[in-house]
A and B are shown apart, each in its own frame.
Chain A
Amino acid sequence: MKRELWEGNQAIAEAAVRAGLEAYFGYPITPQTEVLEYLSRRMPELGRAFVQAESELGAINMVYGAACAGVRVMSSSSSPGVSLMMEGLSYIAGTEIPAVLVNVMRGGPGLGNIAPSQGDYNQAVHGGGHGDYPRIVLAPASVQEAVDLMMLSFDLAEKYRMITMVIADGCIGQMMEPISLPEMKPVQRKDWEWATNGRMGKRERRILTSIYLDPYQEEKTNLRLLERWKQIQANEVRYKEYFMDDAEYVVIGFGTAGRVSLSAVRAARQHGIKVGLFRPVTVSPFPLHLIEDLAKRLSGILVVEMNSGQMLEDVRLAVKGRVPVEFYGRLGGVVPFPDEVLGEIQRMASGKSPSNFSPRDAWFERMAHPHPTPLPIRGRAG
């Protein structure tokens, strides 16, 4: 298959097009604006719908409207814009219709900066919008994986009538990598039995709403969402493992943090440390049982994230205190270097950490003297 050099954001956009995207509604925000710009040309070229909305608020509600019609629709944004979309996501979830959202995460909170981060894990995985609703969250670690997960996201959203979020970060959005794009799938507008696309003389009227005024009906709705979630937990967990066969230690990281950690794991192996990498690809549903199994046979776990320890809590939940869990994180848009993670792996493997401590507190103390910020490229030798 042909391999081409593509920028992450544009590859994500083209992958969605090839998955049969019929409508895109978005708003500019760094570092994902290229998705909007690419589709502003590509969608009209193919006769499909594109609107640059008045805000992310407008965009997610346009997505909501088009999703009610049963077509493949998505938006993309970055952290502050995704916050604006939370109301819309809750409504889409309560209405039980499919939609896809890409979050190219940046440093925060607040306006933050435009550098890559993973600070929205909790928002994506554990809530965001109000109310009890589950959602599928996919975390690519490369441009190719982002392309593959975009194709998958629409299928999952439709199969389960649920929101699928793809959380990338500014690295993946902005970097260029050689990829293979899938074949163009023809647009297949399905007449779902729930879609409000006009009676057209063929059926009774339909209503799509998230209102359940009777609390007992609302409870039934919530339970129905949970039923579907149980199926998803059983069937849709995805992950990647590297060097795990004989591993004594494991590094757990998703997205770019996982990718950086892979380099560190390779280097650690060179140093003779039996460490592997476990990289969740679905952070929701989270691979709880798999990590629980790992904890049964390993001596230590190091969680690496570009945030203050959000996935860390899910790992600790799975580990149930069986083995020490350590944490290493960089914040605010700082991306860790492999040598930082290698240092952490070496510290963990030296057996110097007691089992009853707070991994975040221990890390926080070490962060009083963080690794030095890198020199500009010009001044850096080798």
Chain B
Amino acid sequence: MAANANNLVYERPAGFTDTPTHYCPGCTHGVAHRLVAEVLEDMGLLDRTIGVAPVGCSVFAYNYFDADFVEAPHGRAPAMATGLKRVLPDRIIFTYQGDGDLASIGMGEIVHAAARGENITVIFINNANYGMTGGQMAPTTLPGMKTTSSPNGRDVETQGYPIRVSEMLATLDGAGYVVRRSLHDPKNIRLAKKAIRLAFETQARGLGFALVELLSTCPTNWNLTPVESLKFVEEKMVSYFPLGDFKVSPSVAQVKV
């Protein structure tokens, strides 16, 4: 059967460079990256986008997107994004951060960027551990979950409770669109892409701060296969981090894509 434009259903997004990613096999960082690249390509925004890469497994995100990119110190991406957006208001500025970067060391920066209503888009990858450094406890690690720094399982008495970032940021008046989605099956991946699209539409239309939290897998540090990891998200994480829309400002609610 001849392959031609009429037959093509899906191909690698133009927003991706040719560089193979360094992520572990089955890690849903790749899925999140792909969705962002697809959305930016669909919206024709790659040319005017500047991404801010975090410290974490996705520290080299700048190798994979065909757009300008800068590298932030750990946790400071929302501040760098603020600096960029304030001087380049007509560009699309987005950060891509993991749970350590955003919810631990960067907690101050993300709360205030949201409170200020900075017109940026934040992609927040929640995989319940610190991946790059070998699987330590994160602010999103579940109670009882074993990590390399909670070897007996997270003990809430001494190690506290996980933080539900989306719910927390949604209390801020400056937040325009704050939602949580998941990447554990095709249906949820499609919903995630719609949310990412809306998050970038929020910025493109000047409607405020947008954040999409994505429940993601970490097969290597969870000691599970990629397929088992998807199950872990579905069976264990979604109950603690419910999927849904936590803040949708009236103007964002009216956006039709």
A touches B in complex, CB < 8 A: yes
Closest A residue, CB atoms, query B89: A49
**Complex contact B47–A65 (CB within 8 A):** no
Stretch from A203-211, A292-300, A323-331 contacting the other chain: A203-211
Q: How large is the interface on A (under 10, 10 to 19, 20 to 34, 35 or more residues)?
A: 35 or more
Interchain CB contact under 8 A, B52 and A65? yes
Query: Is B83 within 8 A of A62, CB to CB?
Result: yes
Bound form: Cα–Cα A55–B73 in Å: 15
Partner of A66, one of B65, B86, B108: B86
CB-CB contacts of A42-74 with B at 8 A, as 1s and 0s? 000000010101110111011111111101010
Taking the closest CB of chain B, its distance from the CB of A343, in whole angstroms, is: 48
Q: How far is the CA of A23 from the CA of B69 in the complex (A)?
A: 20
Q: Does A197 interact with chain B (Cβ within 8 Å)?
A: yes
* Residues of B in contact, count (CB < 8 Å): 35
A-contacting residues, B29-78, CB 8 Å: 46-50, 52-53, 59-60, 62, 65-73, 76
- A87 interface residue per 8 A CB criterion: yes
- Contact (Cβ within 8 A) B108 A65: no
User: Which of B47, B53, B109 contacts A198 (CB under 8 A)?
Assistant: B47
Contacts of A69 in B (CB 8 A): 50, 83-84, 87-88
Count: A-B pairs, CB below 8 Å: 132
- Residues from chain B with Cβ under 8 Å of A25 in the complex: 82-83
Q: Are A53 and B112 in contact (CB under 8 A)?
A: yes
Q: Verify B50–A196 contact, CB threshold 8 A.
A: yes
Residues of chain B contacted by A51 (CB below 8 angstroms): 82, 86, 116
Q: How far is it, in angstroms, between the C-alpha of A67 and the C-alpha of B111 when the chains are bound? A: 23
A65 to B109, CA, bound (A): 13
- The reply on A234 being an interface residue by CB < 8 A is no
User: Assuming the A-B contacts A73-B87, A205-B68, A211-B71, are A198 and B112 also in contact, with contact meaning beta carbons closer than 8 angstroms in the complex?
Assistant: no
Q: How far does the Cβ of B41 sit from chain A's closest Cβ, in whole Å?
A: 13
Q: How far is the CB of A193 from chain B (nearest CB, A)?
A: 13
Do A209 and B91 touch (CB < 8 A)?
no
Nearest opposing residue in chain B for A24, CB measure: B86
State whether A71 touches B87 (Cβ < 8 A): yes
B70:A49 contact, CB within 8 angstroms: no
Q: Is the CB of A65 within 8 A of B80?
A: yes
How distant is the Cα of A59 from the Cα of B83 in the complex, in angstroms? 9
B133-173 vs A: 1/0 string, CB under 8 Å? 00000000000000000000000000000000000000000
User: Which B residues are within 8 Å of any A CB, using their own CB?
Assistant: 46-50, 52-53, 59-60, 62, 65-73, 76, 79-84, 86-88, 91, 108-109, 111-112, 116
A residues contacting B by CB (< 8 A) are 22-23, 25, 49, 51, 53-55, 57-59, 61-69, 71, 73, 87-88, 91, 95, 196-201, 205-211
What 7 A-B pairs have minimum CB-CB distances, sorted nearest first? A65-B83, A65-B80, A61-B79, A209-B71, A62-B83, A54-B112, A66-B83
